[in-house]
Structure 1
Amino acid sequence: MKFVDFGLDSKLLEGIQAIGFEEATPVQEQAIPVILSKKDIIASAQTGTGKTAAFLLPVIHHILNNPHDGSIKALVVVPTRELAVQIDQQMEGLSYFTSVSSLAVYGGGDGSSFAREKMALSEGADMIIGTPGRLIAHLNMGYVKVDNLKYLVLDEADRMLDMGFNEDLMKIVSYLPKERQNLMFSATMPPKIRELAKTILKDPEQINIAVSKPAERIVQAAFVVYDSQKIELAKYILSAKKLQSVIVFCSTKSATKQLNRELKKMKFLSEEIHSDLEQKEREQVLQAFKNKKLNILVATDILSRGIDIEDIELVINYDVPNDGEDYIHRIGRTARAASKGVAFTFVNEKEQRDFLQIEELLGAPVPKAKVPESLGEAPVYNPSRPKPKGKRKFTKRR
């Protein structure tokens, strides 16, 4: 289905065409007509499916067709600063030829950014995209003009609940008018998300685009190694072929910093992203990576969801992700749209059982690649399967 077939405002179509959008993705094809008909929705859609435009386009259309009265019309709540900035950037592109205004609201800035946010929230930007904590800080002060708010979007709702934002979300909702359209997007649909949906949404339409398997275009392989071999293996892989765009995911900040130091010693164009960096530093690194001034980004899971970067050629899981969903989100950074990609995972002895559970979720084993002989002998992949149910054994958690 083409975007011109949705009946969107002509000024909005100009922005869509300027960006180069033509054909709608499945989630856009299903969600946009429902949102245009002013119904609530709960949509299960992973990052990379085009869900941001799926809610932005119909909401911008509705705002354009209602007179501006100096109040906030739409509120998009997201789990992280990075996602708030990304959605605001996409909003800016799509609404370029319209008069619709937006602002990203998130913590980590200085006093001047808070003052700028206060001005926009009190004077009424059309759309506010923000993180829960920062939004509550402003709402508690009483100047946020939400009396005429018409649209509430909760993006990556599952991640917000995982991060402990349930009470914050309910507090935000308590400030909003009861008559509004609610749009909830989540990569997964665990019971806690369905409970939240029952509380906030009214008779929602359900859309399910999520696939709990990676795109077939992603070539996957696992290297079974000792911890001491991981840095050398990363260097070996990154030296073997000149790649323009690589993300390496580490489970800890210390591993992120250590690996980035080693890559820099080898003159790789590499930088790190983790929560120890100031927000401005993180944005600068991310922008340099998007602009191809950096080839390699070494990151914690702060980037595993919600960051829309095209043309990632290789994703390396330096550590095995916590679960299958995290694995899918991480490797989903590559093979976006119609492109192909490669995803390698380093699996040490302690991580073998976790990786087996990921393989069981995928429904097939991930091929095991041969560790280069120059790195020495590597462990055998022989994960211990979970104990059969019956008598429960309690072990210390790692």
Structure 2
Amino acid sequence: MDFSVFNFESSLQEGLDAMGFEKPTPIQEKAIPVIIQNRDLIACAQTGTGKTAAFILPVLNKISKSGSSSLNTLILAPTRELAIQIDQQIQGFAYFLGISSIPVYGGGDGIVWEQQKKALETGAEIVVATPGRLIALLAGGKIDLSSLEHLILDEADRMLDMGFSDDILKIINYLPKNRQTVLFSATMPPKIRQFSMKILQNPEEISIALGKTAEGVTQSFYSVYDGQKEDLVTNILSQKDYEAVIIFASTKEKVKSLHKVLRKKFEVEAFHSDLEQVEREKIMSNFKNKTLKILVGTDIISRGIDVVGIELVINFDTPGDPEDYVHRVGRTARADMEGEAITFVNPKDQPKFRRIEELIGMEINQLELPEGFEKGPGYSREDKRSRNDKPKFQKKKGGSKFKKRGSDFSKKTNPSEKFQPKASQNESKTNDPKPSRPASGKFSNRKNVID
């Protein structure tokens, strides 16, 4: 299949040809016809699958056919970076169409605020906004959404995680009821389904390969202690002159700390929420044009940045949510390219890493620590356990209310021992023999079992 099957307007097809778009991705193949048919849609597709074009292209085609110049489409995104990226993609696709878009986001100075208000007053067919800044504009009467035909929520799961659900519902109160609503989410937890029922009407549902990483990614991990991580990062970055690397840490404090260490030997920048918007835009621009080669950040950059050619992703900390791993790894091997993802797993994070392997359906290759490093902690997949493996409690008649399987409490008490007198206070407790665990049983050969 190629894009000609959608019968796009010739000017839009010309733009696709100029940008080198030949065949639609699976999410584009399934979502575009639904949006063209004006059906509400809830679509689940992970980052890097081409979902942005899946909702932009049919909307641009509709606007081009109608010839309308009024505000037609509102796209909501969780972060400034994603809003800017979507706006840039719209500009690329609409180059031959004469359709304009405006990004509306917070974090800038007064000049940016005035520019956004002026642009809205001038008019545009598409507005791409973060919820907080849009509410401020609506409250000030600076934007009229009465002519809106399409509402699109991108990265809906992230917006709900960031606490935007109430803001989104407030925005919807300003919108016409007769509209098409499209919701894209990288994951589909119950809260997303419940939320979608409030804002969508009989939606079509699409799900594309949730939890699968790109085929071009070589994935591996090191089992390490926390004290070995900084030296290991330095060692990895010293092995090759990488063109583009992203290092993910769990908190902005760790990002700042790791940045201080790495900048002594490498050209590296830290990307986190404490930076001003101007600084964040400059860093991201330098990273995209490859004048900056190494970026250290939190999960704020695991979604919403589209940088082709990232060779290496390093998870300095194992992500707590397995789906966050998929998003992080999705930064590399984009556009059918190849890439590498390396994760550092400390003893505490081993259960998290096993859940990641379960989600992606594969065992990730373990690497030996480089020469000169002390041996890291052991890693075993055999101490995974299902819910059915957890110790169970049973009621028993008399004595203790519960007894625990697989432990000394489950042993039958000898009747002759049942009424033994308590030791006197003068008797040393250290002389009492400690009960020994059974030599065999369900957990006898297991390590790191957490009750």
Fold in common (TM above 0.5): yes
**1:66-85 → structure 2 map (5 Å cutoff):** 66-69=66-69, 71-85=70-84
Equivalence for 2:16: 16
Equivalence for 2:233: 234
How far off is 1:120 after superposition? 2.6
Letter of the 1:19 counterpart = M
Q: Is the 8 A contact 1:121 1:145 kept in 2?
A: no
**1:1-398 → structure 2 map (5 Å cutoff):** 1-69=1-69, 71-266=70-265, 268-382=266-380, 385=384, 388=390, 390=392
Letter of the 2:276 counterpart = E
Cα separation, 2, equivalents of 1:56 and 1:114 = 25
Where does the alignment leave 5 or more consecutive residues of structure 2 unmatched? 394-451
Cα separation, 2, equivalents of 1:5 and 1:60 = 16
How far off is 1:388 after superposition? 1.2
Q: What secondary structure sits across from 1:265 in the alignment?
A: coil
Change (3 A) 1:389 1:305: farther
Cα separation, 1, equivalents of 2:102 and 2:348 = 45
Cα separation, 2, equivalents of 1:375 and 1:48 = 35
Change (3 A) 1:290 1:389: farther
Cα deviation per residue 1:218-241 (whole Å; 9 max; x = unaligned)?
111111111111010001011112
Aligned residues: 391
Q: Is the 8 A contact 2:214 2:333 kept in 1?
A: yes
Letter of the 1:130 counterpart = A
Letter of the 1:294 counterpart = L
Q: Is the 8 A contact 1:123 1:145 kept in 2?
A: no
Q: What secondary structure sits across from 1:308 in the alignment?
A: coil
Q: Is the 8 A contact 1:122 1:145 kept in 2?
A: no
Cα separation, 1, equivalents of 2:340 and 2:354 = 20
Q: Is the 8 A contact 1:219 1:342 kept in 2?
A: yes
Cα separation, 2, equivalents of 1:124 and 1:178 = 22
Cα separation, 2, equivalents of 1:310 and 1:4 = 25
Q: Is the 8 A contact 1:11 1:98 kept in 2?
A: yes
Cα separation, 1, equivalents of 2:361 and 2:42 = 27
Q: Is the 8 A contact 1:124 1:145 kept in 2?
A: no
How far off is 1:355 after superposition? 1.4
Cα deviation per residue 1:35-68 (whole Å; 9 max; x = unaligned)?
1111111111111110101111111111112233
Where does the alignment leave 5 or more consecutive residues of structure 1 unmatched? 392-398
Cα deviation per residue 1:214-262 (whole Å; 9 max; x = unaligned)?
1232111111111111010001011112211111111111221222222
> Over alpha carbons, which structure has the higher Rg?
2
Letter of the 1:347 counterpart = V
Give the TM-score taking structure 2 as reference length. Answer: 0.83
How far off is 1:373 after superposition? 3.0
Cα separation, 2, equivalents of 1:78 and 1:129 = 7
Letter of the 2:59 counterpart = V
Moved more, 50-59 or 370-379: 370-379
Q: Is the 8 A contact 2:156 2:185 kept in 1?
A: yes
Q: What secondary structure sits across from 1:345 in the alignment?
A: strand
Q: Is the 8 A contact 1:77 1:131 kept in 2?
A: yes
Greater length-normalized contact order (CA 8 Å, ≥ 6 residues apart): 1
Letter of the 2:2 counterpart = K
How far off is 1:385 after superposition? 4.5
Letter of the 2:367 counterpart = A
Q: What secondary structure sits across from 1:373 in the alignment?
A: coil
Cα separation, 2, equivalents of 1:271 and 1:20 = 32
Equivalence for 1:394: none
Q: Is the 8 A contact 2:187 2:210 kept in 1?
A: no
Equivalence for 2:423: none
Cα separation, 1, equivalents of 2:72 and 2:154 = 17
Cα separation, 1, equivalents of 2:391 and 2:81 = 42
Letter of the 2:188 counterpart = M
Alpha carbon RMSD of aligned pairs, Å?
Answer: 1.8
Q: Is the 8 A contact 2:40 2:204 kept in 1?
A: yes
Cα separation, 2, equivalents of 1:351 and 1:270 = 26
Q: Is the 8 A contact 2:77 2:131 kept in 1?
A: yes
